[in-house]
Amino acid sequence: MSQKENNPGLGGVDPQLPSLTEAIKITVHGVVQGVGFRPFVHHLANRFGLTGWVRNTGLGVEIHLEGQSGAAFSGFIQALQREKPPLACLEEIFIHPDKKEGYKEFLILESQGEEAFVFISPDVATCEACFEEIMDPQERRFQYPFTNCTNCGPRYTIVEGLPYDRERTTMASFKMCAACAREYNDPMDRRHHAQPIACPDCGPQVQLLSAATGQPISGGLNKAAGLIKEGFIVAVKGLGGFHLMVDARNQAAIDRLRRVKTRQFKPLALMARDLEIIEDLAWVSKAEKEMLLAPSRPIVLLKKKKEIPGIAPHLGEMGFMLPYTPLHHLLLQSIDLVVATSSNRKDAPICKDEKEGLAELCDFILTHNRPIAMRADDSVLKVVANQPLFLRRARGFVPYPERVKTALPVDRHILGVGGELKVTISAYKRGTVVTSQFLGDLDEYQNYLYFEEALDHFTRLFHFKPQIIVSDLHPNFRTTRFAQRSGLPHLKVQHHYAHVLAAFLEHGLSASTKVLGISFDGYGHGLDGAAWGGEFLLADGLSFERLAHFSYVPLPGGDLAARQPWRMAIAHLLTIMEARPDLLASLVGVEERKVEIVLQAIKRGFNSPPTSSCGRLFDAVACLLNLAPQEQEFEAEAAMRLEATANAVSEKPYPFLIEDQFLPWKITLAPLIEATLEQKRDGVPIATIASRFHSTLVQIILNIAKRCRRQFGVDKVVLSGGVFLNRWLTLAATEALESLGFKVWRPTRYSPNDESLSLGQIYHALAQVAAGQSP
């Protein structure tokens, strides 16, 4: 499961060069800085008997080669593509004849800055060679927690500017010792031009602090591990921020951590010493194992084999990751399993500095003196049909570039700012898009400051100056208001349409491709002002038509309905029964007076806009099955419990109706709600009802898809929106559609949730500009 296919385009002369060629210039675009690419080029040049130089530029990497044989040049070019460093991604290679300058050897020159788009590697987990070094008492980096080389270590989180050189990273203040300098300058050493290179004599150092007093405590890393084993909460500085760590086998410590984080039920991530520990606790497929061991080292959600109390209550999966820095590896030598959750207050960004209120969350702080330039959470994903399904895309994957594969020749800089929740920003320049890490929900002011911080970092890092800005349609989102204040040409893209277009960009679909875009989520501002969320769109890159949607029901309380599932249960129950407060209260499990207030609001139309939301449908059904809390602690809590309860999607679907006299077709769910209640009354197992609910959604998808193909000749389908984070639904819908001959695309390099909105916004702007419809 590679992050991206490396199929560089060759520009300029043919690689089979004439025998009389004496010098050529090669320009390489892509992820070629901070991945050992220049030392690799140096090695190749020597191997083929070529002289000249290589240097980083604002465009990527530039190579000047001199030699006497066209065959040597051709061999070099072929090896450049075939043998590239594992972390490099060669997007384009341009080759031109050049003037011979008489070089006697091959040199690595100083970097040259230019106003262009350059890509750097994401942060990379510790490689096997560095791991063996820190475990070997004979090595000078034995137990050194900042060991790295050109194949691993920090990248994005320490870079402050480009080209990627040490003086433009947070390692600039650490002067290399003589031994490190020798390695850095030796073309045959794996640390040749490794910018974060360090050792115990010249590099960063760890320090253990008391959270209460801020005073240093002797013992450092080993002492911190002992404190964790004793039941204390220790904040540990990683690549993109601090984790809060406790012993995962200490129930009292976990309970206290939950109180500190005000997180009663939300799942906690686990970091295990090695794969064997994970395999003892969870079921791990081959594809899941590959993701756990990948250089990106994400958190991978795995089906529980054994229950660990307090980690993921009411859910069927736990999130595991393996150590990804030497510090983590050393810390876990004496403790095999820890909770490793982000060090942030609820709805605030991860702490990157011990001064950011960290002391209130922990007992001790294991920090170090290498600053973090850009904070980034751990990435979180699950594996579905051997492909990643991202819940959160951040450390290890950002800022990996996405090449626009379709013919949209646009030379303007375009900024997509996403929506309001799970925000990312995407920047388009020179045929490539870079999407930021997950930035959180911008209804919280601290996250809005993080949004501004990330945008400033992007514009400086990539020399990016937006000329067009794209936002959501919702007039009150902070991102929409930000776009309006920018003074730039401003394009607005409907929420669910942007979800669909994100898949266009990821999968290289042309703007003329017509698809059935199925976009299921909790909320998006609709063209009619309603709260959309169960949408079937007939779409291409320029426009869409609303083909079908779930029939409207009230959204009582507006945003409050997303936190209190019983409100949506009442809204759906009113489609099958009269408004009796006593009966409704008994069915949804709340006091009668609360039901009366909601009924009055619905009757008067007060703060109860119409909604077609699929996410809120999950909430309603979970409530009717007694799976939902009265107040959700975190988004999709009820839906996740419903998913965890389902045991298959092969169960017979419940009935539903489709009103198809006029467009858009309306999908009436009253029969589904009625059947759900009847089966619960009849004592049918809740797992069976939950499974039949999922089967019903799959059947609705198939029904609309077949009608769309029959009536409009469209047999291509995009699945997107946060509801498609549901493993059962995504897998079953994909398999069912493909079995009927539909071509199905879904996000695999980005999340189907609102993180992908900025990407879809970029695509629509590109299509508009390319078609001469510039905002």
Q: Say yes or no to pLDDT of 572 above 50.
A: yes
Q: Say yes or no to pLDDT of 9 above 80.
A: no
For residues 770 and 410, the answer to whether their CB atoms sit within 8 Å is: yes
Query: Is residue 685 very low, low, confident or very high in pLDDT (cuts 50, 70, 90)?
Result: very high
Set out the domains of the chain in order of their start, with CATH numbers: 9-119 (3.30.70.100), 206-380 (3.90.870.40), 401-513+756-770 (3.30.420.360), 517-746 (3.30.420.40)
Query: Is residue 12 very low, low, confident or very high in pLDDT (cuts 50, 70, 90)?
Result: very low
For residues 179 and 188, the answer to whether their CB atoms sit within 8 Å is: no
Residue 290 in tokens: 């590959």
pTM here is 0.92
Summarize the confidence of residues 581-599 as an average pLDDT.
96
Q: What is the pLDDT of residue 217?
A: 97
Cα–Cα nearest to 728, from 709, 755, 759, 701: 701
Summarize the confidence of residues 475-502 as an average pLDDT.
98
Which residue type, as a one-letter code, is found at position 408? L
pLDDT tens digits, 686-728: 999 999 999 999 999 999 999 999 999 999 999 999 999 999 9
For residues 169 and 461, the answer to whether their CB atoms sit within 8 Å is: no
pLDDT tens digits, 317-328: 999 999 999 999
pLDDT tens digits, 357-378: 899 999 999 999 999 999 999 9
Q: What is the pLDDT of residue 16?
A: 52
Q: What is the pLDDT of residue 20?
A: 56
Torsion sign across C-alpha atoms 523, 615, 1, 374: positive
Q: What is the pLDDT of residue 163?
A: 78
Query: Is residue 650 very low, low, confident or very high in pLDDT (cuts 50, 70, 90)?
Result: confident
Q: What is the pLDDT of residue 734?
A: 98
Specify which residues 97 forms β-bridges with.
Answer: 24
Q: Say yes or no to pLDDT of 422 above 80.
A: yes
pLDDT tens digits, 106-146: 998 877 755 455 678 899 999 999 999 999 999 999 999 99
Helix (H, G, I), strand (E, B) or coil at 626: coil
427 backbone dihedrals φ, ψ, rounded to 5°: -120, 125
Q: What does pLDDT average to over the chain?
A: 93
pLDDT tens digits, 16-61: 555 557 899 999 988 887 688 888 999 999 999 999 999 988 668 9
Summarize the confidence of residues 152-171 as an average pLDDT.
92
Task: Quote the percentage of the chain above a pLDDT of 70.
Answer: 96
Q: What is the pLDDT of residue 345?
A: 81
